[in-house]
Amino acid sequence: MKHLLRLVSISAFVAALLVSSVAVAQTDTRTADVIDLSGVWDQRIISFAIDSIEAAAASGSVEYVILAIDSEGVVAGRDELAELAALVAEPPLPVITWIGAAPARAYGGAAQVALAADVVLAAPGSEIGYLEPTIAGDPSSSPVIDLAPFGDLLDRAGFVDDTALFDEVGPATAAPRQVGQFLDGRDVATADGIVTLRTVRDFEGGVTNLETVIREPNVVDQFFRLAASPEAAFFFLVAGLTIAAFEFYAIGPGIAAGTAAVSLVLAGYGLAVLPVRWWAVITVVLSVLLMAWSYQRGGIFLFTVLGLLGLTVAGFFFTDAAPQIAPGIPGVLLTIGSAAFFFLLAMPTVARARFSTQTIGREGLIGRVGAAVTALTPDGEVDIDGAVWRATSHREAGISPGDPIEVIGVEGWFLEVDVPS
């Protein structure tokens, strides 16, 4: 009986497998690939776009590709961008460029790639314009497509009249799935000739779009591209330097050191790919150092304000690629506000919590003796009655770890110490 039940179970499983196989065979396995090309276009995003189009063509199961463009400009080399533009102009399978989702924009080289496609769509409220320079911040960079046909469509601000350019702007192009419905039956030029798109499939009771697959850059590329905009690179640079100072003066080695390192790595990537003004970068570094020095001297408000003003000027002039790529005002203000919070509130609060006791204040320590925890060169840490304090001494004192010390005064957040007399 047990063997009979097992045989029946196996037979039922095989039958179900055969039925599901037939159903899968009858299902339309074609897909529509949507390639996400949002943000500033660096080398990584352009390579991702080229690889994605070629992979879609090689798969044999992709009906068409949509390049979803939302970019204020290109910072990669012109040769790589020209390769992408040529691939979009003569693609191995239907490629449609779509400026969306709203409010999206396509400026500079990104706009040129969008215009290279046979079919150009846009979500309502999107913008296309500032066709030159091709590479943001490089006025000498030549176009990767012929811009002559679009000259009469540009207004005084450099934007394109979308009613004369796009194949469709409206509810039908507000989202990738709606784009699919609009494209059904449309003829699209490819490298091998004209292809008539079939973007919907039948199902019981009606029709629906082909399965839409969103393609995004890999995790590593997405991580580095966090800093591929002026306000982001500015934020990570200020954050990395500020947290490093916060770590040094307030809490010692720990999580903050790792956070500062990650922020500076991201800032380095942003500085490497963006057309930055190097005087602005130097101003950021000097401003943070000025605020750190002000904090060390007990919080001299005037110097902290000067440091914040330096950050403000550097933030708004961080890149040299306007009007295509320019720092966003909200992002710059957020960064400056964060720096002010750290230097005016967070660092003094944490320092008081760590370098103080509940029973005595710093002034009450004058005359007390203790021992050096670190070498004082001239700044360091000392131990007094089991509490660790930031301390400073003149270099000639030659105080090493373990040496006895005596508190002779208070300077800002530091105890002034010397060898006992």
pLDDT band at 23 (very low <50, low <70, confident <90, very high): very low
Q: Give yes or no for a contact between 27 and 77, defined as CB atoms under 8 angstroms apart.
A: no
Looking at the predicted structure, is the pLDDT value of residue 178 above 90?
A: no
Q: Is the overall model pTM greater than 0.85, yes or no?
A: no
Cβ-based neighbours of 414, under 8 Å, separated by 6 or more: 296, 298, 379, 390, 391, 392
pLDDT of residue 278: 95
What distance in Å separates the CA atoms of residue 129 and residue 112, rounded to the nearest whole number? 9
382-392 pLDDT, tens digit per residue, is: 888 777 888 88
Q: Which long-range contacts (CB under 8 A, 24 or more apart) does 219-224 make?
A: 221/44, 221/45, 221/48, 223/266, 224/44, 224/266, 224/269
pLDDT of residue 216: 92
Looking at the predicted structure, is the pLDDT value of residue 103 above 60?
A: yes
What distance in Å separates the CA atoms of residue 311 and residue 343, rounded to the nearest whole number? 13
The mean pLDDT of 162-188, rounded to a whole number, is 74
Higher pLDDT, 80 or 175: 80
pLDDT band at 198 (very low <50, low <70, confident <90, very high): confident
Q: Give yes or no for a contact between 406 and 419, defined as CB atoms under 8 angstroms apart.
A: yes
The mean pLDDT of 397-413, rounded to a whole number, is 84
CATH 3.30.70.1880 for domain 27-217, yes or no, is no
286-338 pLDDT, tens digit per residue, is: 999 999 888 877 667 888 999 999 999 999 999 999 889 999 999 999 999 99
Closest to 48 measured CA to CA, from 174, 219, 198, 256: 219
Looking at the predicted structure, is the pLDDT value of residue 71 above 70?
A: yes
What distance in Å separates the CA atoms of residue 307 and residue 247, rounded to the nearest whole number? 19
- Which residues face 97 on adjacent strands? 67, 120
What tokens does 315 get? 């933030």
Closest to 320 measured CA to CA, from 371, 259, 271: 271
The mean pLDDT of the chain is 82
CATH tag, 363-418: 2.40.50.140
SS3 for 348? helix
pLDDT of residue 277: 95
